[in-house]
Chain A
Amino acid sequence: AQSVTQPDIHITVSEGASLELRCNYSYGATPYLFWYVQSPGQGLQLLLKYFSGDTLVQGIKGFEAEFKRSQSSFNLRKPSVHWSDAAEYFCAVGAGSNYQLIWGAGTKLIIKP
């Protein structure tokens, strides 16, 4: 069965430091992968997506993610975080004929001043 694992429930990073959020998926075919961000009291915003092609994808707000098929991973990275990046981050994989998304549990990013 398809699944998405975000092994870190929360991560604390100092402002200005680099960030990597982990995401592993289980899916039989070529995955459609997404990272969404949910700020407190806000809706979900798409950060970036991977369908095919270059395995390093660039997103909004300075985020990037790398698809590694051999590791079934799609980790999200940012070279230097800002206090405004504090939010909940969700990884998702597209699955099924009805275009549903399978969601990870989310990782809460905490920024230390």
Chain B
Amino acid sequence: GAVVSQHPSRVICKSGTSVKIECRSLDFQATTMFWYRQFPKQSLMLMATSNEGSKATYEQGVEKDKFLINHASLTLSTLTVTSAHPEDSSFYICSARASGMNTYEQYFGPGTRLTVT
């Protein structure tokens, strides 16, 4: 149980275009989803926390107009990188926390490798 999927796993886009990444909890409902960015050989950097039906809370230094997050249902959150540039190339990872659970445990998606050319 507790499977999180991400789509696409890899995406290459041209500079100036927008890219949408989907994160789904397949067998549980997720009140809270998290979006991370991971640079090569580095740890995870939390970008934002989204609660279903609410606006996402962005970490300091993350541009909310550039990284649009929508958490429209208890099983789906999307991250849209708008007007992508080469410096946005990175590995993006989502995670989900199960509804009704008073724990910090997060279930992770496999990640999305974004390359902006």
Contact = CB atoms under 8 A, between A and B. Distances in A.
Interface stretch (B62-70, B72-80, B81-89, B107-115): B107-115
Interface string A96-113: 001111011110100000
A98 B111 contact: no
Given A43-B111, A44-B93, A105-B43, A100 B49 contact: yes
Contacts, number: 50
The secondary structure that dominates the A interface is strand
Contact of B32 (A32, A90, A98, A106): A98
Nearest to B107: A46
7 contacts: A44-B44, A44-B108, A90-B44, A94-B103, A104-B43, A106-B43, A108-B41
B103 A105 contact: no
A92 to B, nearest CB: 8
B57 interface: yes
Given A90-B44, A94-B103, A95-B104, 16 more contacts: A32-B103, A36-B108, A43-B111, A44-B95, A46-B105, A51-B103, A90-B43, A99-B32, A99-B97, A99-B106, A101-B34, A101-B106, A103-B43, A103-B44, A104-B43, A106-B43
